[in-house]
A and B are shown apart, each in its own frame.
Chain A
Amino acid sequence: MLNIRGLAASIDDKPILKGIDLIVPPGEVHAVMGPNGAGKSTLGYVLAGREDYVVTAGSAVFNGTELLGMDPEARAAAGVFLAFQAPIELPGVNNANFLRTALNAIRRSRGEGELDAVQFLKLARAETKRLAMPDDMLKRNVNVGFSGGEKKRNEVLQMALLRPKLAILDETDSGLDIDALKIVADGVNALRGPDFSALVITHHQRLLDHLVPNRVHVLSAGRIVRSGGPELARELEKSGYAGIVAEAA
C-alpha cells in the first residue's frame, strides 16, 4: 500500500505540493481530480522520482519502503510505474528493444531471468493484440510519429508488460476516443488484484465509468481538499471544481 504523509515539493523554488496526505490500500484504485495547475502531474512525477522536483517535506512509503530519495530505476524495480501524460519520444530507439530492455531490467531486479528476443516478441505481440495496437508499433522508434492515442496505448503496453504494483496514470485518458478509452481501462482492470494499486489522474468522469475507483480525491493548490467515493466524480462532472475549491479556501 501507498502511504503519503505531509508531502511538499517545489520546482525552481516554487512550491507546488503543499502537504499531501493520501493512503491507497492494496488492491484499490484511487482517482485524483482537480483543476489545472493543482499539482496532479507533480504528484505523479515526485512519486516516480523526477529529479527537477525538490521534496521539501513529508514521506511516501510504498509497501514498507520510503520511495522519496530512491533512484527512479529503483522505484520502478520496487513496482512503481508512471504512465506519462506526454510520453517522451526516443528517436533512434526501437520500441521493441526499449520494451525488452525495460522488462529485462525489471526482471533482473526481481531476480528473474532475462527474456531473449524471441521470448519477448511472443509476449509483446500477445499484449499488443489485446490492446488493439498494430504490430508495427513494436518496430517503430519509441513514440516517434505516434498519434496521441498511440502514445497513450504504448504507455499501457509498457504497464501491461512490466506488471507494476503501483500504477500512476497521468491523464492517460486525454486525447482518446471512446474505444481507446475502454481499451486503456481494460488494460488497468486486467492488472487489478490484491497486489495492485493505482492512482488515476484524470479530468473526466468518462474514464471512471470504465475504471471504477474505490476513492476519489480532489487536489487543489497543492492540497487534497476533498475525498469521497465514486459518486464524488459524478458530482464534479455536474457542478465543476469551483464550489469545492471555494469551500476549502
Chain B
Amino acid sequence: MNAVSPPPRPGAAGFLARYESLIGALPGDSALRAAAAAAFRAAGLPGGGPGRRIEAWKYTALRPLADMLFAPAQAPDIAEPPTLAGAAAKVVFVNGAYRAAMSAPPAFFARFADRPDFGTLSWPDREPMTALNTMLAADGMTLDIPANTDGGTVHLASIGVGPTAFHPRHLVRLAPGASLTLLETANGTGPYLHNPVTEIHVGAGARLIHVRLQNEDIAAFGLSTLYADIAEHGTYDSFSLNLGGRIARAEIRATLSGPHATAHLNAAQLLTGTQHSDFTTVVRHAEPHGASRQTVKNVLAGQSRGVFQGRIEVARDAQKTDGYQMNQALLLSPDAEMDCKPELEIFADDVKCSHGATIGALDADQIFYLRSRGVPAAEARAILVRAFLTEAIDAVADDAIRALLEAGIAGWWDNQAA
C-alpha cells in the first residue's frame, strides 16, 4: 500500500489525501465516509489555521496538530499492556488496529473492521473530529451486551506508537437491564494522534460504569469524542482521568432520552509543563426526572492549561430535571491557566440546575499545619493535592480500577518532584 500512497502532507490536507488514497479500501458505508470527508474538508482542524474559530473549540486550537506529519499506521512490536486485576476481558488496539494476540475479548465483542457500524448518534452532528474519524475509521470495538446480562468488566486498551494517526470507532450497546464496567486506557510513545469516536447506548434500566485513564505520550494528541444515549431508568456513570498528551480533549455528548435517566460525567485532569487538556461536555435532558452530575477537578502545574466547557440543555418536557455541575481547579504554579465555561440552557420551568466553579492555590494554612507536624513541604503538597481529588477518585467503586487511577496520580506526582 505504501507504494501507491502519495507522500504524506501535514494537517487536514494530509488526512484528506490519506482518505483519497483509501477510498474503496475502508470498511463500511462509503457514502457516509464521503459525506464526512466533505464536512471535514469544509471544517478543517479546529484552530488548525487562520480563520474564524468555532465556539465549541474556543479554548483549544489544533495548530500544533496541523503542523504534524504522520505516516500510515504500522503494526509495531510493543509490550503487552498490564492486565487489570479482576477483568477477565481485555481488548487491545495498537495504533488503532485490533491486536488479537494481546486480547481476551468477551463473547459479545465484534471488530469494526469485520462488522463496521457507525452507530446512529454521531451523524450528522458533524463535529470536525468526528467527521475526521468517520472519514478514516478502520477498526474499533463493538460490544453488545444482551438484555438483563451482566457483562462484567472489560478493559479497552489503546497503545499508540508515533508518528502516526489513528481513528478508532467504538460502539457499546447495553440492552435493557444489562450492566457493564468498561475501563478504557490510552497510552503510547512518540507523537501520534489518537482520535477515537465512541458511541454508547444505555438501554432501559441498564447501567454502564465507564472509567477512562488517558495517559497518552507527552508528545501525542488525544482527541476523543463520545456520544451517549441513556434510556429510561438507565445510568451512565463515567469518570475520566486525564494525565497525558501534548494537546488532549475529551468531548462527551450525552442525551438523557428517557425519564429517570442518570448521567455522571466526572473527570480529573492533572497537567504539567505546557500540556493542554480540554474536558467538554454537553448533557441534554430530553425527558423528565433526569439527573446529571459533573464534578471536574483540575490540578495544573507548570505552564499547563486546563479547559472545562460544560453545557446542560433542558428540553421543555424535561420537568423535574436535576442537574449539577462543579468545576474546581488547583493552580500549583502562577503560570498555569484554567478556562471554565458553564452553559445552562433551560426550557422547562420546574427544574433544579446548579453550577459552580472555584479556582485557587493550595491553602497556606493547611500546608503550614502539615509542616508543623513534621511533614516535609513537598509531601504536604502531595497530600493536599490527593485530598483535592478524593471526592472524584473515591466515587470509583471498583478497587482494582481505583488502584490503577491511584497509580496514575502517584506517577504524575513523581514526575513533578523529579
Contact = CB atoms under 8 A, between A and B. Distances in A.
B373 A162 contact: yes
B381 to A, nearest CB: 12
B384 interface: yes
A125 interface: no
Given A51-B364, A73-B375, A101 B383 contact: yes
B398 interface: no
A34 interface: no
Interface in B374-391: 374-377, 379, 383-384, 386-391
For the residues of B in contact with A, the DSSP-based class is: helix
A100 to B, nearest CB: 11
Interface stretch (A9-17, A58-66, A89-97): A89-97
A179 to B, nearest CB: 26
Contact of A90 (B364, B369, B377): B369
Given A88-B365, A90-B387, A49 B372 contact: yes
> A52, A105, A109: which has the most chain B beta carbons within 10 Å?
A105
Contact of A105 (B366, B368, B375, B388): B375
B371 interface: yes
A237 interface: no
B384 A90 contact: yes
Nearest to B385: A92
Given A92-B388, A93-B387, A105 B374 contact: yes
- Chain A, interface residues (CB within 8 Å), range: 20 to 34
Contacts of A176: none
A76 B387 contact: no
A105 B391 CA distance: 26
A87 B391 CA distance: 22
A48 interface: yes
Given A82-B372, A88-B365, A88-B366, A73 B387 contact: no
Contacts of B373: 76, 98, 102, 105-106, 158, 162
A88 B388 CA distance: 15
A73 B367 CA distance: 11
> B372, B384, B386: which has the most chain A beta carbons within 10 Å?
B372
B367 to A, nearest CB: 9
Contacts of A88: 365-366, 368-369
A56 to B, nearest CB: 20
A92 B390 contact: yes
A50 interface: yes
Contacts of B379: 101, 105
A105 B376 contact: yes
Contacts of B369: 84, 87-88, 90
Nearest to A52: B364
A51 B374 contact: no
Given A75-B372, A158-B373, 12 more contacts: A49-B372, A72-B368, A72-B371, A73-B374, A76-B374, A81-B372, A91-B387, A92-B390, A101-B375, A105-B374, A109-B374, A162-B374
5 contacts: A49-B368, A49-B372, A73-B375, A90-B370, A92-B389
